[in-house]
Structure 1
Amino acid sequence: MIVNQQIEHWLTAQKNAAESAKRPFVTLSYAQSWDGSITTRAGETLGLSGTESMKLTHQLRSLHDGILVGIGTVLTDDPQLTVREWSGANPQPIVLDSHLRMPPTARLCQRLDKNCWVLTRLKNDSGFDGKADIITLEGDAEGRVNLREALNLLWEKGIRTLMVEGGSQVITAFLKAQLADALVLTVAPTLVGGYKGVGNLELGCKSQLPQIRPLYSQMLGDDLIMWGNLHYREPVLS
């Protein structure tokens, strides 16, 4: 379990150092193939993590106050977002859902321990009757939930650490907004040639690209685990 211990100690140190930000410390965590694909095509599920890597994912969940995915992940995977392969408390489930497409039958709406928080731009006047808390926020220039407003609200609700598992649009949005602080990446020993985990960041030059430093890596089972802090050389214009 030495890799798990290394990552836990590193992550704990980063979270403690970031408490003055007044927004949750954000960790991106997902699995991809060697060519950067997370699935064959958008809207399909492809399990890439090995057994040991999946345990690490559940350990990471236990180390965060909240866990966030986009509505696309809910519609495709119907996840539970619980800690099942590791000992620890379940994080607060949170879904980014700008157009309030959350199905009341989703497993996140059947949880007995925590009501899912659904962050949307729309008021709940559509008759949604699922077991979830609908939270209306301002939209950004692209008509999606404003991530900075969302993080401010989560901070006010006691979320100090947030794990973002995907999908691609959500991962890309956090990187574009420079709101991701750390990355834990599982690289599976396979080639997919499919849908990438990080989309177009719409950056004009190399100096604007997010940097990962220091960068750590170690094998875990058959997978390569890479982790480090995310740094942004030029601040995004708000």
Structure 2
Amino acid sequence: MPRPRVILNMAMSVDGKIATVEGDSRLSCPEDLRRLHFLRSRVDAVMVGVGTVLKDNPSLTVRLVRGKNPVRVVVDSMASTPLDSKVLDGSARTIVAVSRRAPRARIEKLKKKATVLVVGEHWVDLPKLLEQLHRLGIRKLLLEGGSTLNWNMLKNRLVDELRISVCPVILGGEKAKSLVGGEGFRKVEEGLQLVLVQKRKVGKDLLLVYRPK
């Protein structure tokens, strides 16, 4: 089945962390933030996991450049997105993807502020979600994390391009979130092999663009 083209865009420290042990994720330099907002303006939708909504409360809109706001997609198996979240502020259309085990009362409350898609039994079925998003007219999707959603998308080979900004800082911390979480691949040969297609400086950050082999 057809699905949107998926671009994963993340900023990380030199040691691969996307936030400190206390959750501070303000890594990108101003120039890289403008690049991100321009990218948002050129896609049909931007997608994050509910953990990112709970931790960062992002708006996921275009503010630093001129352009349209993308549709906002939240992967939220248990329908736990707070009703006062910025992603539900009405500034752009929002889709919340939930599983069938999400409490019915929460789903009904979310429906007052967003389009709710029930996709999957216990967890959101990502391949099926992408198929539904494609049917809704979404052709280009920007994935902005967090690490658990990144893992599940990459594990299922659902990412077509990775744009990684490496920021000149080391954060450390065993419990600090990395670019990709989850259980991980057991052997190197099982990992997702990539090809570097572009590299350039963006302000003080280094942008690396990869595509899966």
| Same fold at TM > 0.5 | yes
Matches within 5 A, 1:27-38: 27-38=7-18
What RMSD, in angstroms, separates the aligned Cα atoms of the two structures?
A: 1.7
- List structure 1 segments (4+ residues) > 3 angstroms apart after TM superposition: none
Matched, 1:149 2:131: no
Aligned counterpart, 1:128: 109
The more displaced of 209-218 and 121-130 is: 121-130
Is 1:77 aligned to residue 56 of structure 2?
yes
Cα distance, 1:124 vs. partner? Answer: 6.5
Report the CA distance between 1:200 and its aligned residue: 4.4
The one-character-per-residue Cα deviations of 1:35-67 (angstroms, maximum 9, x if unpaired) are: 00011237x232000000000111111121110
2:196–2:208 Cα contact (<8 Å) kept: no
- TM-score by structure 1 length? 0.81
Q: 1:209 aligns with which of 155, 171, 191?
A: 191
Moved more, 154-163 or 84-93: 84-93
Equivalent residue for 1:118? 96
For residues 113-161 of structure 1, what are the alpha-carbon distances to aligned partners after superposition, in whole Å with 9 as ceiling and x for unaligned?
x33100001466215155111111113xxx3201001001001100001
Q: What amino acid is the match of 1:168?
A: S
Q: How many residues align?
A: 206
Aligned-partner SS, 2:148: helix
Question: TM-score, length-normalised on structure 2?
Answer: 0.90
Taking only the aligned residue pairs, the percentage that are identical comes to 32
Equivalent residues of 1:172, 1:199 under 8 A apart: yes
Alpha-carbon distance in 2 for matches of 1:200, 1:225: 24
Aligned residue for 1:172? Answer: 151
What amino acid does structure 1 have at the position aligned with 2:42? L
1:185-196 pair list within 5 angstroms: 185-193=164-172, 194-196=176-178
C-alpha separation in 2, matches of 1:52 and 1:211: 29
Q: AA paired with 1:102? A: T
In 2, Cα distance between equivalents of 1:168 and 1:202: 11
Q: Which has the higher contact order (CA 8 A, sep 6+)?
A: 2
Number of the residue aligned with 1:159? 138
Secondary structure at the aligned position of 2:104 is classed as coil
2:40 equivalent in structure 1: 61
Distance in structure 1 (CA, Å) of the matches to 2:44 and 2:124: 20
* Mapped partners of 1:164, 1:81: distance in 2: 11
CA distance in 2, matches of 1:205, 1:167: 23
Q: How does 1:15-34 map to 2 (within 5 A)?
A: 22-34=2-14
Matching residue within 38, 42, 46 for 2:25? 46
